[in-house]
Structure 1
Amino acid sequence: MHVLVTGGAGFIGGHLAEAFLEDGHDVTVLDNFEPFYAEGIKRHTLEVHREVAADGDVEYRFVEGDVRDPETVREVVDDADVVVHQAAQAGVRESVDNPQRVTDINVDGTVNLLEASKETDVDRVILASSSSVYGKPRSLPYEEDHPTEPVSPYGVTKVTQEHMARVYTELHGLPTVCLRYFTVYGPRMRPNMAISNFVSRCLNEEPPVIYGDGEQTRDFTYVDDVVDANRTLLTDDSVDGEVLNIGSSDNISIQELAEVVRDQLAPELEIEYESAREADAEHTHASVEKANETIGYEPSRTITEGVGEFIEWYEANREWYEPLVRSS
């Protein structure tokens, strides 16, 4: 199978491309090195891809390009059996500052991809959505039929992606599925996330900083679980045209998360607090019952277990990763 991974030099896309290569698939990665965080992390990811491809009998191709360019998109989609669409302008706060840019990338780029895919023999398009689509909770945990009332432009673009994918399935028979990720973390994660921030600061004997009162809660999802869901959907058509939550079914307050990291690395530090950030969701908590019933999805780690694994990875890769985290 030939898999196209858009945004494949990024955090989640990079892990997906690596896993597909390990599984023996040919992989094309499309990425434009969007400077949202340190490019060096993405360059390191591409080196991992090349090493994995060299060790196996698989073809690997990296294309530096943008999903907003229809010609580039058509060219890379043409050889694909399955498209795994991870490319996006991430960041809730970034979307508040620049809603036009996030719309251009996340909506127009997705339409380019769907248009190209409907004209080829693509078996399926798997799209990355987000828990940001839900907005203010009417009930928790979020089930897929919970109202989608996002509180940020980023969340609005993700809802729009989902509707466009559904329409292309209904109008054109293009198999699509949208995965609503809940705050994914793990090796090579974005440096501006709470977990990587807390770990970096504590390892450098600096107090972890919480934005807000720390009572907000998050459902953090280990990246390996996201990989497993996408692996299954390369060949599973049971949820074509639908959306699925991909989370841990567990959640933790930001206060408790900071304490878990602090207590493991630097128990003498006092946690500090700053003003809450605009448009951040107050709570996220995923119901994964539908994903379990349809594709056998099961989270593999509790948040505490996953954070412990990330800390071990960080310490083992600190020499190259930390300078990039702290420069972002």
Structure 2
Amino acid sequence: MQILVTGGAGFIGGHLAEHFATDGHDVVVLDNLDPYYSVDLKRHNIGVGRAAGTDGEGSYEFVEGDVRDADLVEELVADAEYVFHEAAQAGVRTSVENPRKYDAVNVDGTLNVLDAARDHGIERVVVASSSSVYGGREEYLPFSETDPAMPVSPYGASKLAAERYTCAYADVYDLPAVALRYFTVYGPRMRPNMAITNFVSRAINGDPPVVYGDGSQIRDFTYIEDIVTANETLLSTDAADGEVLNVGSSGTIDIETLAIEIRDQLAPDLDLAYADRHDADAEATHADISKAREILGYEPTRSIREGVAEFIEWYQENREWYEPLVLES
């Protein structure tokens, strides 16, 4: 199959591109290498993808460009059968500082992908959304797709607009399109500025993990392999077309407990440190995955404790090249 992965040099997109190339598909990655976090990590993801394309029966091509470039997006979509749209401006906190960039990338960029897919008869478009659309109000936990979407950050608002456009295009233009709401994804090669990465890095280096707020915030962390599996399933079924689906672990942990567990595995004598919490941070996330389970047969394979243990092992094995990228973030 011919597969286009936008944002394919990022964390999730990089894993998708690698997996698809390993499985024998012909993969094109579009990414603008935005320096929101280490460009060296993105280049590493490109290298992994190229190796996967070389070693297997598939192929891998990287195109440096931006989803805001409608002509380039149309050119690449025209040659694809499936599009996995992972490109986005990430970051809840930084979205407060520059909301218009989030609108331009996450909303207009998504419209460029949807317009091109509509015009060129794509088999399916899978659009990455986020649990941030829910806004974190605890009275609705666990969040199901029928609960109110009330984002508390410009980032969350931009992802909600993107997924609403996705479903509208599915309804109005009969475009085979699906929006997946990811719940805090983690695992090997994850973004350096995420909580788990920072907890692990600081503990390994003898520094106290820093918790923002009192640590009572609840998160549903999803292991990257489960995200890849959910996306891969959409290569072979149309059952989710026009739908929004939660993709989470269905389990939760509070941030303070997470920090303690990581600290206890790596440096049990350390104390935790605390800093001010940002207003745009959601109070809680927790996925009701019954819809994805029913439609896709989705079933998470890692609890947070199992996944974190795997990430710590991977971090230690890859510390020489990965840790400098974490420390510079």
Q: Matched residue pairs, number? A: 328
**CA–CA distance in 2 between the matches of 1:248 and 1:71?**
38
**CA–CA distance in 2 between the matches of 1:121 and 1:59?**
22
Q: Report the residue type matching 1:82 in the other structure.
A: Y
Matched, 1:221 2:218: no
Contact kept, 8 Å, 2:222 with 2:249, in 1: the verdict is yes
**CA–CA distance in 1 between the matches of 2:82 and 2:236?**
9
The aligned counterpart of 1:74 is 74
Cα shift readout 1:198-236 (whole Å, capped 9, x = no counterpart): 000001000000000001110000000000000001121
**What secondary structure is seen at the aligned counterpart in 2 of 1:138?**
helix
RMSD over equivalenced CA pairs, Å: 0.7
Q: Report the residue type matching 2:40 in the other structure.
A: G
**CA–CA distance in 1 between the matches of 2:325 and 2:277?**
25
Deviation at 1:170, TM superposition (A): 1.1
The ranges of structure 1 where at least 4 consecutive aligned residues each deviate by more than 6 angstroms after the TM superposition are: none
Counterparts of 1:161-180 in structure 2, within 5 Å, are: 161-180=162-181
The aligned counterpart of 1:109 is 109
The aligned counterpart of 1:26 is 26
Counterparts of 1:189-200 in structure 2, within 5 Å, are: 189-200=190-201
**What secondary structure is seen at the aligned counterpart in 1 of 2:179?**
strand
The aligned counterpart of 2:95 is 95
Matched, 1:149 2:150: yes
The aligned counterpart of 1:2 is 2
**CA–CA distance in 1 between the matches of 2:17 and 2:69?**
21
**CA–CA distance in 2 between the matches of 1:172 and 1:11?**
31
Q: Report the residue type matching 2:193 in the other structure.
A: N
**CA–CA distance in 2 between the matches of 1:185 and 1:96?**
23
Contact kept, 8 Å, 2:183 with 2:285, in 1: the verdict is yes
The aligned counterpart of 1:241 is 242
**What secondary structure is seen at the aligned counterpart in 1 of 2:279?**
coil
The aligned counterpart of 2:46 is 46
Q: Report the residue type matching 1:191 in the other structure.
A: P
The aligned counterpart of 2:205 is 204
Cα shift readout 1:263-310 (whole Å, capped 9, x = no counterpart): 000000000101111210001000111111110000001000000000
**CA–CA distance in 2 between the matches of 1:166 and 1:209?**
39
**CA–CA distance in 2 between the matches of 1:237 and 1:90?**
28
Q: Report the residue type matching 1:258 in the other structure.
A: A
Q: List gaps (5 residues or longer) in structure 2.
A: none
Q: Report the residue type matching 1:37 in the other structure.
A: Y
Cα shift readout 1:233-272 (whole Å, capped 9, x = no counterpart): 1121101001000000000000100011000000000001
Deviation at 1:163, TM superposition (A): 1.0
Q: List gaps (5 residues or longer) in structure 1.
A: none
**What secondary structure is seen at the aligned counterpart in 2 of 1:4?**
strand
The aligned counterpart of 1:284 is 285
The aligned counterpart of 1:324 is 325
The aligned counterpart of 1:255 is 256
Matched, 1:310 2:306: no
The aligned counterpart of 1:60 is 60
**CA–CA distance in 1 between the matches of 2:74 and 2:140?**
41
The TM-score normalised by the length of structure 1 is 0.99
**CA–CA distance in 1 between the matches of 2:218 and 2:131?**
13
**What secondary structure is seen at the aligned counterpart in 1 of 2:140?**
coil
Q: Report the residue type matching 1:303 in the other structure.
A: I
**CA–CA distance in 2 between the matches of 1:323 and 1:275?**
25
Deviation at 1:138, TM superposition (A): 3.0
Identity of aligned residues (%): 60
Deviation at 1:59, TM superposition (A): 2.2
**CA–CA distance in 2 between the matches of 1:269 and 1:137?**
31
Deviation at 1:23, TM superposition (A): 1.2
Contact kept, 8 Å, 2:23 with 2:57, in 1: the verdict is no
**CA–CA distance in 2 between the matches of 1:208 and 1:13?**
28
Cα shift readout 1:44-71 (whole Å, capped 9, x = no counterpart): 1111111111111222111000000011
**What secondary structure is seen at the aligned counterpart in 2 of 1:8?**
coil
